Amino acid sequence: MKALLNSMPGATPHRFSYKTLKVATRGFTQKLGSGGFGSVYAGVLANGTRLAVKALETGGGHGGHKQFVAEVVSLGTISHVNIVRLCGYCVHGSSRLLVYEHVANGSLDQWLFDSGKRSLSWESRCKIALGTARGLAYLHEECRDPIMHLDIKPQNILLDEDFTAKVSDFGMSKLLTGKDITQVVTGVRGTPGYLAPEWLLNSIATKKCDVYSYGMVLLELISGRRNIDPGKLASSGNALDWYFPMWAVNEFKAGRLLDIVDETVRRVEILPLVETLFKVALWCIQDSPSVRPSISRVLQMLDGPCDVPEPPLDFQFYYQQQRAPSANVSVIAPVSLSIEAR
């Protein structure tokens, strides 16, 4: 690890002692959240600096250490207002800890889907959409070696006190070096609903995979609804009941665009902006990566003076269905849903 950090250009992340982080987090008792990766704890250093400490669940295996290295390498030498800042790391026995800046308002998914949170204003949603796109544009086009994030979703978009978006969680990220424009990523991981078809079907990852995931996030920002409703998925055979993107396209084609908008912010005067964001989202989630725009083009469509062209509406949706054919085997099966232009 030390040799890897020494080979990185510019300043490298600070190495914290385990004792320092244990004291800062009050013995790892101030839990902010948890997931398959491990747990995140609030911490305060002796000088008053507030931190978020992510303790990776390595299980002593190679996978957890690989995720740890991916985050340190990806975030260790980059700086952007829309990328969460990695302050340092800690290696202590089998423990792997990542230390981030404290981000006051938590993750986007809490604001969109947690009924206990106050609703996000329409203006904040637009700001988050732009900020996330700018963060991705920095990763894809401004870093010395482009970075594919490969896990863009509301849970991995943090919001500061001003609701500035900060892309986080780089455990699945990949560096593109030299002439690389694609990578074969074996063992499909990720969250159902956000994986691009080419990655799901062929294990081929490109920057356009991030664009696809970003399009799904845009739809969720507009609607306040998850792209897949797991409760309805189990009870209904009609995809329009549980797969929001497909229902939203049908509403758009029927001239009912305002019905797609989260009812807490729904008003006629925002309809032109809704149409812009929705069309951009549809461009991003095209099933063919060659049809999807680059993230810089997405920014131009969101923030530029020109109208967004009409997106193709005759494409397929793919989602990931988790099946368990036996007690010991878990399979992610891609399911295709077609929609035709009318």
Task: Please tell me the predicted confidence (pLDDT) of residue 332.
Answer: 46
User: What is the Cα–Cα distance from 257 to 261, expressed in whole angstroms?
Assistant: 7
Task: Please tell me the predicted confidence (pLDDT) of residue 3.
Answer: 57
* CATH number for the domain whose boundaries are 108-338: 1.10.510.10
Task: Please tell me the predicted confidence (pLDDT) of residue 256.
Answer: 96
Task: Please tell me the predicted confidence (pLDDT) of residue 317.
Answer: 76
* Residue 52 CA to its chain's centroid (Å): 18
Could you state, in chain order, the average pLDDT of each consecutive group of 10 residues for the chain (342 residues)? 56 87 95 80 94 79 69 83 94 91 93 84 97 97 89 95 94 67 60 86 88 98 89 66 87 95 95 96 95 96 88 80 45 55 48
Q: What are the binding residues for ATP?
A: 54
Quickly count: other Cβ atoms within 10 Å of residue 165's Cβ.
Answer: 26
Task: Please tell me the predicted confidence (pLDDT) of residue 234.
Answer: 59
Q: What are the binding residues?
A: 54
Domain ranges, ordered by start, for the chain: 2-101, 108-338
User: What is the Cα–Cα distance from 57 to 55, expressed in whole angstroms?
Assistant: 7
Pseudo-torsion of CA 200, 97, 78, 283, nearest 10°?
20
Q: Which CATH class is domain 2-101?
A: alpha beta
Q: Which residues are catalytic?
A: 151
CB 304 within 8 A of CB 297: no
In single-letter form, the type of residue at position 297 comes to R
